[in-house]
A and B are shown apart, each in its own frame.
Chain A
Amino acid sequence: MADVSIRNVTKQFGKSEVIHGISCDIRDGEFIVILGPSGCGKSTLLRMIAGLEQISSGEVVIDGRVVNRLEPAERDIAMVFQNYALYPHMTVYRNMAYGLKMRRMPKDEIDQRVRNAARILELSALLDRKPRQLSGGQRQRVAMGRCIVREPKVFLFDEPLSNLDAKLRVQMRLEIRKLHEDLKITSVYVTHDQVEAMTLGDRLVVMDNGYAAQTGSPLEVYERPANMFVAGFIGSPAMNFMEVTVQEGGQALKLPGDIQIPLNGSALPGWAGKKAILGIRPEHMELDSKGPRTILFTVGQVELLGADTLVHGHIGAGQVPMTVRLPDVHRFEKHATIRLSISQEKLHLFDPETKKRIV
């Protein structure tokens, strides 16, 4: 067990920089999820922590020791790869024992640890199988077992669930969480799946194109996204954005279609008369035919999900596209107009220039 510090780490491949200085302090026993779209540099960051990729500048500190120049083996970390990377010519047992054997651990202790891990992961009956004789979920468990037996300071996961089907993914997600609660080993988990990120992480690092856009607990990131990228990336379907004008006095917003929404007491000094970007999550609007300040919404496509209904459409004359998520089943005619109200506490405002949140 150990804490991990990432200090202003950058990475260049040749001339192109793909990580532009990321810092993050991970506490002992914490489960950190690095979340971001494909190609934003998540794996690269993780591989720098693992020692599989050289660190161009900055420092990675594990348990108080700068590990920049240490080999992967000397960093006392374990990693679950996306394709599991189980040694195909070894049995499950030997796959799990390999790391211990390389560290010259006595045979009986290896045996004890492997069997113990196999018991925890329900692999005991499969110890003599080769990886190709296992299902995807079982392989996944073996890959985790290979990490557990080592009792490392840090676990690293690189999209470990992305090769599994949806149902198994949910199940393994819970197992990983449970395992973490039992073992309390500091973990860094890379994924592009926000549900995984929200459910697994104690904290998230949301990455955007080589930058850490925001670091915080899942709820913080959801409720107070630091910029438009995070706001749009977290939450499904994505947040609706529209250009609004802040009224004189900074007390209200003027939406497309001449709708005014008062700001709940929180005036915006300095923004009066200026344009801003308003963000509303699809789930933060509701049907409201009588309210005083409703907005008119023209229905386009409707998706019935059973528990919810997603309505895609637009508002105002400027045809600003918008998606609404309504609980329960609703059947709307195409081109019908419905009235929606917006919960005022759930509004997000962003600076159109910097894309940052306006506090």
Chain B
Amino acid sequence: MEKRVVFKNRVLPYILVAPQIVVTVLFFIWPASQALVQSFLQEDAFGTASAFVWFDNFADLFAGAEYLDSFRVTLTFSSAVAGAALSVALLLAVMADRALRSATVYKTLIIWPYAVAPVVAGVLWFFLFNPTVGMLAFFMKKAGLDWNHTLNGTQAMTLVIIAAAWREISYNFLFFLAGLQAIPHSFIEAAAIDGAGPWRRFWTIVFPLLSPTMFFLIVVNIVYAFFDTFGVIHAITRGGPNYATNILVYKVFNDGFINLDLGGSAAQSVMLMIVVITLTVVQFRFIERKVHY
């Protein structure tokens, strides 16, 4: 027997969901459809007229090396961010789990970076690594490393990866720590009696049991690196030097609002939308089967 609440009033349910619908339509559906429409249009040089050009904007994207370059940069960037944020967080969580199975102080401390807005995080790192005034840049110069991320593309990339990953570490840490604490201690004790040392215990017992958490976090981190790192890039490198850190979201902004190629920018937005939809579908597909060992 199915039990559900039936509203006698026909209007009330709609009133109740209305705010959510308004917000979704206003801030998602409407801009998204605008972007979709825009991606099929091409404006003339003065922005006075636009023509329907079918998939020309998309074809243009894939014809030039620029977009594919940006795609490559994004892949490097997001896999490095996810990789760094996940491995550092896992390391910290394992140590925290071991050190204090009960205390909560550490947990609250480590979440702090997450409370810092991406732009502020970006600015912080920007100053630390600033070639003229940055503390870290200063020490690196002393150590014989010539740091100048405004000229060196690899260094710029390293810097934005650190800045972007730094913020995710705290978020990942909490999930990993929760995951670790949910693993009954007796599994680890049984493995210890079975003759597995700490290293093998981790890789044969703990890590597999963390895999649902891991999978969830990989998707979340990639989505973050793809879409939520605009602030970091904008504050530190503005996509430079020489497009070395011009990731897709930043390129959308740059092409659309700086170079005013609205059609091309919209086409890129649509591409990003496809990526995020795909990731979300993958996410839900696997999260549905929560425990997959």
How many Å from the CB of A316 to the closest CB on chain B? 51
Q: Are A77 and B193 within 8 A (Cβ)?
A: yes
B14 at the A/B interface (Cβ < 8 Å)? Answer: no
Cβ of B47 < 8 Å from any Cβ of A? Answer: no
Cβ of B59 < 8 Å from any Cβ of A?
Answer: no
Q: Distance (Å) between the CB of B215 and the closest chain A CB?
A: 14
Known interface pairs A85-B184, A87-B187, A89-B208. Does A102 touch B194 (Cβ–Cβ under 8 Å)? yes
Q: Which residue of chain B is the closest to A158 with respect to CB atoms? A: B186
B191 interfacial contact with A, CB 8 Å: yes
* Cα(A140)–Cα(B186), bound, Å: 15
Within 8 A of A (CB), among B192-220: 192-197, 200, 204-205, 208-209, 211
Complex interface: chain B residues within 8 A of A130 (CB): 293
How far, in whole Å, are A50 and B184 apart by their CA atoms in the complex? 18
Known contacts: A88-B209, A89-B208. The answer to whether A72 contacts B184 by CB under 8 A is no
In the complex the two chains form, is A85's CB within 8 Å of B208's CB?
Answer: no
The reply to whether A89 and B293 form a contact with Cβ atoms under 8 Å apart is yes
Interface flag for A52 (CB, 8 Å): yes
Q: Can you list, as one digit per residue, whether each of B156-198 has a CB less than 8 Å from chain A (1) or not (0)?
A: 0000000000000000000000000000101101111111110
Assembly CA distance A103 to B194 (angstroms): 8
Residue A251, interface by CB 8 Å: no
Q: Which of B187, B196, B209 lies in contact with A102, CB distance below 8 A?
A: B196
CB closest chain-A residue, reference B211: A89
Which of A50, A72, A89, A99 neighbours the largest number of chain B CB atoms within 10 Å of its CB?
A89
B189 touches A72 (CB 8 A): yes
Partner of B196, one of A73, A81, A85: A73
CA distance A85 to B208 in the complex (A): 15
Contact B193 A79 (CB under 8 A): yes
A73 touches B186 (CB 8 A): no
Q: Is the CB of A87 within 8 A of B205?
A: yes
Known contacts A83-B184, A89-B209; A103/B195 CB under 8 A: yes
Q: A83-B186, A85-B184, A87-B187 are in contact. Are A78 and B193 (CB under 8 A)?
A: yes
Q: Which residues of A contact B209 (CB under 8 A)?
A: 88-89
CB proximity of A190 to chain B, nearest CB, Å: 14
Instruction: Provide the residues of chain B in CB contact with A79, threshold 8 Å.
Output: 189-190, 193
Specify which of B189, B191, B193, B200 lies most central, judged by the most chain A CB atoms within 10 Å of its CB. B193
Of A78, A98, A102, A130, most buried by chain B (CB within 10 Å of CB) is A102
Q: A147's closest neighbor in chain B, by CB?
A: B193
**Is B195 a contact of A99 with CB atoms below 8 Å?**
yes
Decide if the interface of chain A is mainly helix, strand, loop or mixed: loop
Q: Which residues of A sit under 8 angstroms from B186, Cβ to Cβ?
A: 81, 83, 85
CA gap between A55 and B201 in the complex, in Å? 23
A98 touches B191 (CB 8 A): yes
Query: Cβ of B195 and Cβ of A102 under 8 Å apart?
Result: yes
Q: Which of A50, A52, A73, A87 contacts B195 (CB 8 A)?
A: A73
A73 touches B193 (CB 8 A): yes
Distance, CA A86 to CA B112, complexed state (A): 37
Q: Which residues of A in the span 63-117 have a Cβ within 8 Å of any Cβ on B?
A: 71-73, 77-79, 81, 83, 85, 87-89, 98-99, 102-103
The minimal Cβ–Cβ distance linking B90 to chain A, given in whole angstroms, is 18
Q: Who on chain B is nearest to A97 by CB?
A: B194
Residue of A nearest to B205 (CB): A87
CB distance from A130 to the nearest CB of B (A): 8
Known A52-B189, A81-B186, A102-B200; judge A88-B293 contact (CB<8 A).
yes
Q: What CA separation (Å) do A73 and B195 show in the bound complex?
A: 4
Question: CA–CA, A98 to B204, complex, Å?
Answer: 9
Residues of chain A within 8 A of B190, CB atoms compared: 79, 81, 85, 87, 146
Residues of A within 8 A of B192 (CB): 52, 71-73
**Residues of chain A from 133 to 169 with CB closer than 8 A to chain B in the complex:** 146, 150
Contact surface of A with B, Cβ cutoff 8 Å: 50-52, 71-73, 77-79, 81, 83, 85, 87-89, 98-99, 102-103, 130, 146, 150
Q: Can you list 12 A-B pairs with a CB-CB distance of less than 8 A?
A: A51-B193, A52-B189, A52-B193, A73-B197, A81-B189, A83-B184, A85-B189, A88-B187, A98-B191, A98-B204, A102-B196, A146-B194
Top 4 nearest A-B pairs (CB, nearest first) are: A89-B293, A99-B194, A85-B186, A102-B195
